[in-house]
Amino acid sequence: MFDIVYLIRQFIGFIRRYPRTFTLIGLLCLFGIGIWVGREIRFEKIPNYFKSYTDPVQSDETNQIFPGITHRQILDDGVLTNILAISADAASVGLYRALSAGIGTEYLRSFASRYKAPIALNGGFFEMAGQFRGESVGALKIDGEWVSEPEQGRGVFGFKTVNDKIEAYIDRIILRQELVFKDGSTIEINGINRGRLSNELILYQPDFHAITLTMPDGIEVVVKNKKITDIRNGEGSSRIPSNGYVLSAHGKKREILLSQLKLGDSVNIRETVIPEVVGESKLWEGLSHVIGGGPLLLRNGVISTKDAYKREGFQSSFYGFPHPRTAVGKKEDGTLLFVTITGAEPGVRRGVTLPKLGKLFQEWEATDAINLDGGSSSMMIIRNKVVSIKPKPKETESASKDKSKRAEKKPEQSKSEKQTVDKQKKDSAEPNNTDKPKQDIAKKQVPTKKRSGEKSKEESNEKKQTETDNSPVKKEIVEQRKYGYGNLRIRPTPRNYGRSISDAILIFPRKQNTPNKKAE
């Protein structure tokens, strides 16, 4: 049995016997911790973080930015809340993938400028590292086609447009996709557009990537126009056809596909959406857009419990600590509420807990609400302006004063330069009053003149080198080298751009037409 008291006694005895060794080990440990803290923690942001808690500035502004669309911004104790209320018939809402592909990330500003969207905010969760960086983690359905399967049992936000009105729904769903064989038997499809694991069958669509990015330890069935055109066993990384898809299997499911499928066979995939609310399966199958998040914050006006958060797979560190949040809610009359809660200062991580966010949605008269991706991804853009941050005006004023001071210093430097130029002119005028014997000596010393000419050339070359070293291009190169570590080229992210994300929610007022999503 583990005896903690015995270990403590032995540790105290070691300190008494070897005090110098203990102090040396302690100092080395503190030194190592100091090195780690210096690398990981950005100390220059710590004062801003503590200042945000004592910020006395408070404001509450509401503006109508488009017909039927209002924007309310609340600043309280350094936390900035943006509430965008959209009537059901005031705008069209769409989901868009980063880089128009199944993997990869893109800045929210790039989303907004590429599709010319007046309003944009971040979407669902995604993979942040590895080969499949940017792959959606959770449900994603765009224009009636599933791009990513839902995390089974987690909350989703789905909507469609009927008679120029948005019909939105919030629930927990399960997606079941099956491959149907000729004899009527079926096999479950485990995922869409993601990495293939052992004993899994994955569906890869053209929007995912040019190839499947799989290892050569499975079988891949290439389907074009619902017919099998190629069966690649033990090869991997098959090319995905533009008019079809690829079924990739491993392990036991690989053997099933080898025995059941042949070239030229027709392929049928059956899908079923199982929501938590009984009887709404057909409704969810008919929705054109679905995005996953979680957990559910409100349902029929009732706040979700912590046990409900845990059933969706979220730990207390996620819902119990104040993090930056992005969420979506719905009122009884169909009005949609898009919300971001972030720190007002750029780079300061402030937010709200999920139970408190549910209470806020209750105060805003929402009946249902769901949490989306948060943290550094939380951002809202309105008319090309990031409204999820609100830096203090003092910073901008001090920056403008510094610029004006620099501009005032420039003419003083020019006067000193004029004085040096006048001195050079006087010095150059003195050699003109030379005598004849001095000229004869100069004629005899011809070879020494050549050497001095060589030196002057070297001096001119050195001046050119110093000019190139002081050039703005050279300075930029030196600054960029500061951010390089080994074989990595790391540059600082542009300010106020936030984190690059995998998918975005773009909102277009009714006066604007929704652009083609495949257009660059």
Average pLDDT value for residue range 73-82:
92
154-207: pLDDT as tens digits:
999 999 999 999 999 999 999 999 999 998 999 999 999 999 999 999 999 999
Q: Distance between CA 296 and CA 294 in Å, rounded?
A: 5
Mean pLDDT computed over every residue of the chain: 82
Whole-model pTM: value is 0.73
Sign of CA dihedral 97, 299, 177, 268: negative
pLDDT in tens, 226-261: 999 999 999 999 999 999 999 999 999 999 999 999
Pick from 208-222, 424-438, 488-502: least confident: 424-438
CA separation for the pair 204, 201 (Å, rounded): 10
pLDDT at 388 over 90: yes
Give the lowest-confidence range in 5-14, 37-46, 127-136, 148-157: 37-46
Q: Phi and psi at residue 355, in whole multiples of 5°?
A: -60, -40
Task: Identify whether the C-beta of residue 246 lies closer than 8 Å to the C-beta of residue 191.
Answer: no
Among residues 300, 350, 381, 330, the alpha carbon closest in space to that of 109 is found at 381
458 contacts: CB under 8 Å, gap ≥ 6: none
Residue 51 pLDDT level (bands cut at 50, 70, 90): low
pLDDT digits (tens, 9 = 90+) for 328-373: 999 999 999 999 999 988 878 889 999 999 999 999 999 999 999 9
Tell me the backbone φ, ψ of residue 333, rounded to 5 degrees. Answer: -85, 5
DSSP helix, strand, coil percent of the chain (3-state; round to 5): 35, 30, 35
| 373 neighbors 122 (Cβ within 8 angstroms) | yes
